[in-house]
Amino acid sequence: MKTLLKIQSSIFSGGGQSTQLADRFVAAWREANPDGRVIVRDLAKEPVPHLDAARFAAFIAKAEDRTPAQRDAVAHSDALIAELKAADVVVLGLPLYNFGLPSTLKAYFDHVGRAGVTFRYTENGPVGLLTGKKVYVFAARGGFYAGTPNDTQTPYIRAFLSFIGMSDIEFLYAEGLAVSEASKQQSMERARAAVDRLAEAEREAELVAA
């Protein structure tokens, strides 16, 4: 049985354009994987706390030395990591806010990027430990950024996820959503068609591999 983890980070939860594209992909995945399990992590409804010095101290303290409060902080991070580890497929809804990723998603990344747990340093450099997963990113933007130096998200998401072992990443963009209503409709229509093509291609690739 395969597991898909959907991480949505729109402040509008299910109403976000990035979430709607992610949901469309997940619906197609469910059809292709009727026995599959889908886990949803909504970072707007259940935000992860910002990383601060106390929390970071808890992460790096030896297990036997942790205070009860530190154990709670680590248990939260461990649970998020366990969810990621269990996933064969990760679907990420990615809005663009003020030229960057949602702060809730950054806080989440700060909880799952843990030395010795999701990556480790070796003599040959860092090694990611969350391997063997496929990641699909559904990005929604008011303007046009893909392929330009102003796209701060694509290289960052690729770098961070690859660092923890998740380097097989597919990006799909819906852009120009704030230009006009017509531009939004056209862009979302194109993006929905691209989601359908992507889901179909993945389904065919899985059939060939099976």
Ligand X SMILES: Cc1cc2nc3c(=O)[nH]c(=O)nc-3n(C[C@H](O)[C@H](O)[C@H](O)COP(=O)(O)O)c2cc1C
Q: Determine if 140 is a binding residue for ligand X (CB under 6 A).
A: yes
Contact criterion met (CB below 8 Å) for 5 and 87: yes
Q: Which of 97, 156, 160, 163 binds ligand X (CB under 6 A)?
A: 97
Choices 25-33, 67-75, 137-145, 152-160 (CB under 6 A): range interacting with ligand X: 137-145
Q: CA–CA separation, 120 vs 10, rounded Å?
A: 31
Which is closer to ligand X, CB of 101 or CB of 164?
Answer: 101
Which is closer to ligand X, CB of 105 or CB of 130?
Answer: 105
Helix (H) or strand (E) holding 7: strand 3-8
Structure tokens at 149: 């130096």
Helical H segments across 113-152, by residue range: none
Q: Determine if 19 is a binding residue for ligand X (CB under 6 A).
A: yes
HEC states along 40-63? EEECCCCCCCCCCHHHHHHHHCCH
Q: Which of 178, 193, 201, 205 binds ligand X (CB under 6 A)?
A: 178
Main-chain dihedrals φ then ψ at residue 4, nearest 5 degrees = -115, 130
Q: Determine if 187 is a binding residue for ligand X (CB under 6 A).
A: no
Q: How many residues bind ligand X (CB under 6 A)?
A: 18
Q: Which of 5, 16, 43, 135 binds ligand X (CB under 6 A)?
A: 16
Main-chain dihedrals φ then ψ at residue 81, nearest 5 degrees = -70, -40
Q: Which of 58, 89, 91, 96 binds ligand X (CB under 6 A)?
A: 96
Q: Determine if 180 is a binding residue for ligand X (CB under 6 A).
A: no
DSSP state of 97: B
Contacting positions for ligand X (CB under 6 A): 10-12, 16-19, 95-99, 140-143, 177-178
